[in-house]
Amino acid sequence: MNFDSLNKMILYIEHHLDSVIDFNQLSKITNTNIFILERIFTFLTNMTITEYIKKRRLSKAFEEIRNTKHKVIDIAFKYQYNSASSFNRAFKQLFSITPTECRKGIGNYKIIPVAYFESNKGKYNFDYKIKKLDSIFLYCYHVVANHHSDLLYKIKHLYNEVTTNGMYKEFTERGMYGIFSKNKDVYHYYLGSTHYFSDLEKYEIKKNDYAEFKLSSREQNEIVSLEEKINKQWIPATDYIIQENIKIELYVGDDCFIYVPIK
């Protein structure tokens, strides 16, 4: 069995979270006996297919409770729970808050991501916040390239420059921003802070709602890994409309915050 067939199975599950899922269809999609399929899935994810479906349904329910005015009982029935008590029990067990507390906005947004089979790196759950940011003005270095690989080369040299001239320390002390954007097939990267520097370019982060992800590290390989998970697992798992041509990183102390513009 290859990972492509497993990902097709996951897509089928995702499209049928609000209805009865036919396990025979999962077997057909993967061309694998259901018993063998269950064993492979459990090995790769540390949970059964049934457990995965349950968690994805509860994850979708979390979003609807937090973001809509639909009755909780209607959401519970939509995601195949036969009673409010069984839904409430399962919800609290997974998220450590009740559906009522979720509706009141208690606790961070949480999501169980769509499974994505690419390597045996294990599962990953997202804990994030939705923040409404006002307009923020930055003073930045700005590099431009027509190709992504060229942009990465220029960014590397930019970091060497700001480290040498002392600006990296200046930015870090005030909270350093790194912003990737793409406009008409041209790639841009801005590096700076909110502190005014007369000789740097002014850049505005637009007022908007953002999904905020916190990473307790500034290691680039860990940041890239989280951003890949956001793109491949979080975005397909949510109903938000994502503005995909911009990515904002904020470095504060030893932490990196990643902001994704949403609607």
Q: Is the dihedral of CA 226, 231, 233, 234 positive or negative?
A: positive
Residue 230 has pLDDT above 50, yes or no: yes
Q: What average pLDDT does range 238-249 have in this prediction?
A: 84
Q: Clarify whether residues 168 and 214 are in a common domain.
A: yes
| pTM of the complete model | 0.59
Buried b (16+ CB within 10 A) or exposed e, 64-93: bbbeeeeebeebbebbbbeeeeebbebbee
pLDDT at residue 121, as a whole number? 47
Share of the chain above pLDDT 90, in %: 58
Select from 63, 84, 112 the last residue of a domain. Answer: 112
Check if the beta carbon of residue 102 is closer than 8 Å to that of residue 62.
yes
Mean pLDDT of the chain: 89
Q: What is the pLDDT of residue 123?
A: 47
pLDDT of residue 110: 80
- Kindly state the tokens that stand for 147: 């190709």
Q: Are strands 126-133 and 136-145 parallel, antiparallel or unpaired?
A: unpaired
pLDDT on residue 125: 57
| Cα dihedral 57, 90, 228, 129 sign | positive
> Is the same domain home to 72 and 179?
no
Predicted local distance difference test score (pLDDT) of residue 43: 84
Does one domain contain both 27 and 103?
yes
Q: Are residues 84 and 10 in the same domain?
A: yes
Neighbours of 179 (CB within 10 A): 20
Digit-coded pLDDT (tens) for 153-173:
899 899 999 999 999 999 998
Q: Which domain holds residue 248?
A: 132-262
Q: Mark whether 251 and 151 lie in a shared domain.
A: yes
Structural domain includes residue 125: no
Binned at pLDDT 50, 70 and 90, residue 1 comes out as: low
Kindly state whether residues 165 and 88 are assigned to the same domain: no
How far apart CA 164 and CA 39 sit, in angstroms, is: 54
Average pLDDT over residues 210-222: 87
Report the relative pairing of strands 136-145 and 176-183 from DSSP bridges. unpaired
Q: How many domains does the chain have?
A: 2
108 with 136, same domain: the answer is: no
The arithmetic mean of pLDDT across residues 40-59, rounded, is 92
Percent of the chain whose predicted confidence (pLDDT) is above 70: 97
Model confidence at 177: pLDDT above 70: yes
Rounded to whole angstroms, how far apart are CA atoms 196 and 231? Answer: 33
